[in-house]
Amino acid sequence: MSKRVVIDPITRIEGHLRVEVEVDENNVVQKAWSSSTLWRGLEVILKGRSPHDVGLLIQRICGVCTYSHYRAGVEAVEDALGTKIPLNAKYLRSLMQTSLYMHDHIVHFYHLHGLDWVDVVSALSADPAAAAQEAMKYTDKPIAAGEGELRAVQERVKGFVETGKLGPFANAYWGNGTYKFTPEQNLIALSHYLKALEVQRVAAEMLAIFGGKSPHPQSLVVGGVTAVRDMLSPARLQEWKQKHAIVTDFIHRAYKADIMMAAAAFGNEPSVLGGVAIKNFMATNDFVLADGEYMFDGGVIMNGDLTSVTDIDNDLIKEDVTHSWYKADGAQHPYEGTTIPDYTGFVERDTVYGKLPTLDGDGKYSWVKSPRYGDEPIEVGPLASLLVSYARGNKVVVKSVNELLEATGLPVEALFTTLGRTAARMLQTVIVAEEGLKTFDAMLLNMQTDESTYVKPEIDSDKEYQGVGMIEAPRGMLSHWIRIKGGLVENYQAVVPTTWNAGPVDANGKMGPYEASLIGLKLEDPTKPLEVIRIIHSFDPCMACSVHVMDYKGADLGEFRINPNGQ
């Protein structure tokens, strides 16, 4: 007798995500459905606007991977117009990208994903002295993990817990058997959770130095970057470097160490050793180290075969809406696609929580479409980026990955797990932080002979343009596609990392990475599905990004026909 588990809202993510799984009598997941329950229609809104405004508006897709959509939008327009931006502008954009990654990955691991690994209640019974010793095992210079600091954290949280009013920590899955940290390890991680709240602020300030603010920086324009005064100010440059040093220090002495600790503690926990069922990966090259030289490589890996990487073929990207709340005749290439919302609502059925409205797995059940690469689902994200660079023989990445594997004594296959995905994100953060200084130095060198940060783009309103901005967002490969006509946006599409990962089943019955990753997962208690949430969080979902309109060619707003009762 199978049982349905409904998880909505999936918290500690960006946006609105619902996941449902069906478990058998042994509580093993047989089927899974992932659904986004919000649609905003930003691409519709972009139509008919000035291409200069695209970046600012489309940035509002997401305030977490803020900047990524801004940059992709601006670069899509630049690609369409053939605008070649100055080298300084490329460096500044790359430094902002570095700042974003350092912020985003830290916040994701500690504040969004962390509580899937760390049992806050367990930390209360830890011995701070033993915990301080434990911390020394994973780095010789732990941060915020001295005995005194740990005791202070413990007392602070204890006072909080004793009131019985846990605020944001209330009613979570504390005590679940898949929490594998010892109380001491939990205490270390909890201390870092609090420390990371401070550090992420500094990382956000790094982005604000060249971006004006964070979230939603405001210094990119079609043709370059406006922050020329910040670039020319020695005090500003050093401010960035100083903050970079503070955050990098934390990454080495806390983030990396905590992942090593997790690898040791969770190394035998089955629920985190699966979770990569789709072994197809895609990434694009990004982070400018010097003119034409990139930190990470691009390409596609199929079936987990690291010996063969191919270049991305844009023509193979298609989107399927069989199970999405849109109408279309078969899978469509982004440029040829249409989007007509077709909301069918939920189906009432028995669940482990009683009768509830649930996803209609046989019909349409998500606002996310299902992108496919040559009919195959693809995973994108830090893991994909590292694997592609690794397979390409990228020296820095190969060295980092090998060092990690050596230190943990794990084979390369260990990367193809939930734990591996989380570790890859950390590894990417380390590389981004360290290598980012190369970008910084290259900019200093270039600035001595060249102060330009902007070229004026030319738009001929009699011509039609078409272009794509393809970058790596913190959640994976992101591409924005634009067509410009009459000097205005003719149509706009964003193919977003979470769309690749979170899309529903396609016409061929193939599941996307989210759904596939859950099959075969055994739950300790189906009413408290921590294992599911941990796997989903390891992808770093960003739902607002994933839900969008691909193309509006030939479809006007009169075609919004949605059953008013949502049934």
Numbered residues of the known binding site for Fe cation: 65, 545
Instruction: Choose which of 3, 28, 31, 56 interacts with other proteins (CB under 8 A).
Output: 56
CB of 157 to other proteins, least distance (A): 8
Instruction: Choose which of 259, 276, 321, 533 interacts with other proteins (CB under 8 A).
Output: 533
Q: Which amino acid is at 443?
A: M
CB of 198 to other proteins, least distance (A): 8
Choices 135-143, 213-221, 293-301, 510-518 (CB under 8 A): range interacting with other proteins: 213-221
> Under the criterion CB under 8 A, does residue 26 sit at the interface with other proteins?
no
Q: Helices 382-391 and 418-447: crossing angle, nearest 10°?
A: 70
Report CA-CA distances (Å) from 413 to 262, 274, 501, 526: 17, 11, 20, 29
Residue with Cβ nearer other proteins (151 or 392): 151
> Under the criterion CB under 8 A, does residue 486 sit at the interface with other proteins?
yes
Measure the CA–CA gap between 500 and 494, rounded to whole angstroms. 11
> Under the criterion CB under 8 A, does residue 129 sit at the interface with other proteins?
no
> Under the criterion CB under 8 A, does residue 380 sit at the interface with other proteins?
no
Contact 547, 36 (CB under 8 A): yes
Cite the annotated binding site by residue number: 43, 62, 65, 542, 545, 548
Instruction: Choose which of 132, 135, 227, 289 interacts with other proteins (CB under 8 A).
Output: 227
Instruction: Choose which of 1, 26, 229, 329 interacts with other proteins (CB under 8 A).
Output: 229
Choices 196-204, 251-259, 265-273, 435-443 (CB under 8 A): range interacting with other proteins: 196-204
Burial 333-360 (b: 16+ CB within 10 A, else e): ebbebbbbbbbebbeeeebbeeebebbb
Beta-bridged to residue 413, according to DSSP, are none
Residue with Cβ nearer other proteins (393 or 486): 486
Contact 437, 502 (CB under 8 A): no
Q: How many residues does the chain have?
A: 567
Residues within window 397-426 making contact with other proteins, judged by CB under 8 A: none
> Under the criterion CB under 8 A, does residue 540 sit at the interface with other proteins?
no
Contact 439, 95 (CB under 8 A): yes
Strand 370-373 versus strand 317-320 pairing type: antiparallel
Instruction: Choose which of 128, 142, 217, 497 interacts with other proteins (CB under 8 A).
Output: 217
Residues within window 438-457 making contact with other proteins, judged by CB under 8 A: 451-454, 456
> Under the criterion CB under 8 A, does residue 125 sit at the interface with other proteins?
no
Measure the CA–CA gap between 385 and 193, rounded to whole angstroms. 26
Residues within window 274-333 making contact with other proteins, judged by CB under 8 A: none
Q: How far is CA 390 from the centre of its chain?
A: 20
Instruction: Choose which of 3, 30, 31, 45 interacts with other proteins (CB under 8 A).
Output: 45
DSSP type of residue 93: H
Other C-beta atoms within 10 Å of 445: how many?
12
Residues within window 454-483 making contact with other proteins, judged by CB under 8 A: 454, 456, 461
Residue with Cβ nearer other proteins (18 or 318): 18
Give me 12's structure tokens: 């500690």
Residue with Cβ nearer other proteins (157 or 278): 157
- Which of 112, 117, 177, 31 has its CA nearest to residue 518? 31
CB of 161 to other proteins, least distance (A): 10
Strand 354-358 versus strand 347-351 pairing type: antiparallel
> Under the criterion CB under 8 A, does residue 541 sit at the interface with other proteins?
no
Measure the CA–CA gap between 422 and 214, rounded to whole angstroms. 25
- Which of 411, 359, 472 has its CA nearest to residue 31? 359
Measure the CA–CA gap between 106 and 255, rounded to whole angstroms. 7
Q: What are 234-239's contacts with CB under 8 Å, separation 24+?
A: 236/209, 237/440, 237/444, 239/209
Residue with Cβ nearer other proteins (19 or 282): 19
> Under the criterion CB under 8 A, does residue 8 sit at the interface with other proteins?
yes
Q: Helices 395-408 and 256-265: crossing angle, nearest 10°?
A: 40
> Under the criterion CB under 8 A, does residue 235 sit at the interface with other proteins?
no
Instruction: Choose which of 27, 29, 34, 66 interacts with other proteins (CB under 8 A).
Output: 66
Residue with Cβ nearer other proteins (44 or 288): 44
Choices 39-47, 300-308, 368-376, 418-426 (CB under 8 A): range interacting with other proteins: 39-47
Interface with other proteins (CB under 8 A), residue total 111
DSSP type of residue 252: I
> Under the criterion CB under 8 A, does residue 218 sit at the interface with other proteins?
yes
Residue with Cβ nearer other proteins (70 or 281): 70
Would the CA dihedral through 515, 523, 426, 245 be positive or negative?
A: positive
- Which of 114, 131, 138, 133 has its CA nearest to residue 407? 138
Cite the annotated binding site for Ni(2+) by residue number: 65, 542
Residue with Cβ nearer other proteins (85 or 378): 85
Residue with Cβ nearer other proteins (1 or 170): 170
Residue with Cβ nearer other proteins (317 or 495): 495
Measure the CA–CA gap between 373 and 456, rounded to whole angstroms. 36
Instruction: Choose which of 264, 273, 290, 488 interacts with other proteins (CB under 8 A).
Output: 488
Residues within window 143-182 making contact with other proteins, judged by CB under 8 A: 152, 155-156, 159-160, 162-163, 165, 167-173
> Under the criterion CB under 8 A, does residue 493 sit at the interface with other proteins?
no
CB of 333 to other proteins, least distance (A): 23
CB of 64 to other proteins, least distance (A): 5
Choices 51-59, 177-185, 432-440, 493-501 (CB under 8 A): range interacting with other proteins: 51-59
- Which of 264, 99, 120 has its CA nearest to residue 193? 120
Give me 394's structure tokens: 């990228």
Q: Residues near 212 by Cβ (< 8 Å), separated by ≥ 6? A: 218, 219, 227
Cite the annotated binding site for Mg(2+) by residue number: 43, 62, 548
Q: Which amino acid is at 365?
A: Y
Residue 541, helix vs strand vs coil: coil
> Under the criterion CB under 8 A, does residue 219 sit at the interface with other proteins?
yes
Instruction: Choose which of 268, 307, 448, 565 interacts with other proteins (CB under 8 A).
Output: 565
